[in-house]
Amino acid sequence: DHVVFTSCSTEHSHSALSCKMAAEFDAFLSSDQSWFCHLDDDNYLNPEALLKLLSSYSAMKDVYLGKPSLNRPIRASETLSNNQTKSVRFWFATGGAGFCISRKLARKMMPWASGKNFLSTSELIRLPDDCTIGYIIECKVGGQLLPNRLFHSHLENLQLIPTSDLMQQVTLSYGVFENKLNVIKLSGPFSPQEDPSRFRSLHCHLYPDTPWCLQAVGW
């Protein structure tokens, strides 16, 4: 009962990603939860760190938490009803690091983000789903991103995160950065060959009593 089956395409296309984001958003709105948090499927989420972070904010206020991948607002051309365009600029939290939105703010976003409205809004600026979220919040609702360093994507150098700080991070990622494998710096219990993302090893540091952690050689 935790899986939502959608009719969205499995492609990694603009429309498919917007379709999935809209489905996530609507599933949240129909629930009684206080926070909408989106992650990519190649993120590692530390639930305890997330709950600790969210506990310092009120879901009854407008809150948009995440990490931008740019050091400046993104610029876009918004299509107007008369087929003219206007330049807009806004901050957005990269979906590859994850982000969270309070229920109060999410309800304000509904005219542009619920159902088929999300894809229509996305088409106005011709940018991906995570950019569209930022556009709705800043340009339509009047909110703003609260940047947080505890979210991480493969677009940053993950080797720079001190090993001693890894257990406090909300999300982590892996991938390729500047043509090199981009993973967190962490030892055992699994080798880089067994655990190229280092997520299994991180999980064992966080939850050492996990059965498959106890079975790891030398752990």
DSSP letter, residue 164: G
pLDDT in tens, the chain (219 residues): 678 888 888 888 888 899 999 999 999 999 999 999 999 989 999 999 999 999 999 999 999 999 998 999 999 999 888 888 999 999 999 999 999 999 999 999 999 999 899 999 999 999 999 999 999 999 999 999 999 999 999 999 999 999 999 999 999 999 987 788 899 999 888 999 999 999 999 999 999 999 999 776 555
Active-site residue (options: 130, 165, 195, 209): 130
Amino acid letter for position 153: S
DSSP letter, residue 80: P
| Domains in the chain: boundaries | 14-147, 158-214
- In the chain, count H helices and then E strands: 7, 10
202 and 184 in contact (C-beta within 8 Å)? yes
Amino acid letter for position 76: A
Does CATH number 3.90.550.50 belong to domain 14-147?
Answer: yes
Beta bridge partners of 180: 177
Question: Measuring CA to CA, which residue among 134, 130, 131, 181 is closest to residue 154?
Answer: 181
Cα–Cα dist 182/175, whole Å: 5
Cα–Cα dist 9/7, whole Å: 7
Bond from prior residue into 189 cis (ω within 30 degrees of 0): yes
* Catalytic-residue membership of 130: yes
- Ramachandran sector of residue 124 (left: φ over 0; alpha: ψ -120 to 50; beta: rest): alpha
